[in-house]
Amino acid sequence: MPIPELFLDSSVLMAGIIPSQGSSRVLLLLSEDKKIRITISEQVIIEIERNIARKIPKILNYAREMILQSQIKIVRDPSKMDVLQHLDWISHPADVPILVAAANAKTEFLVTLNTKHFLDNPQVALRAGLRIGTPGDALKWLRERFQEDI
């Protein structure tokens, strides 16, 4: 079986770095163990660093180290033209670059804690051609995938 590829938005990455447990942390640990591949965009890095620097600046170096240890792949943000062409994918324009980056990276699952913009409207996943869910949803999906190979 190919290694499952997931795209994490900043809410999930932040939740995986700050608490020492929970579904978001489990995803980072699975990536560190090379059981899954995690991809993020440059925008996610910028958002994470800005939020940590503002809220808990003393853990910024720890956060950077955790990202390195988790073997996270960082992809370029989509072009402005690419974002403009996909404004109809989601109602909140600020989320379009994340959605387009996940689709362009050809990941299988976009993991987010932003239920209001990404999950409450099932059309978002259909338009982007992605599975979209919470970290818990992603772990359930991974369990099902891993059991198929047993």
Q: Which domain holds residue 99?
A: 5-143
CB-based contact 138:109 (threshold 8 Å)? yes
Exposed e or buried b per residue across 73-101, where buried means at least 16 C-beta atoms within 10 angstroms of its C-beta: eebebbeeeebeebeebbeeeebbbbbbb
In a domain, 136, yes or no: yes
CATH code for the domain in which residue 65 is found: 3.40.50.1010
In a domain, 123, yes or no: yes
How many domains does the chain divide into? 1
The span from the CA of 73 to the CA of 105, in Å, is: 10
CB-based contact 24:114 (threshold 8 Å)? no
- pLDDT tens digits for the chain (150 residues)? 789 999 999 999 999 998 778 999 999 999 999 999 999 999 999 999 999 999 999 999 999 998 888 899 999 999 999 999 999 999 999 999 999 999 999 999 999 999 888 989 999 999 999 999 999 999 999 999 888 763
Question: Which position has the token pair 């073997």?
Answer: 71
> pTM of the entire structure?
0.93
In a domain, 148, yes or no: no
In a domain, 14, yes or no: yes
The Cβ of residue 148 has, within 10 Å, a number of other Cβ atoms equal to 8
In a domain, 149, yes or no: no
In a domain, 150, yes or no: no
The span from the CA of 143 to the CA of 3, in Å, is: 13
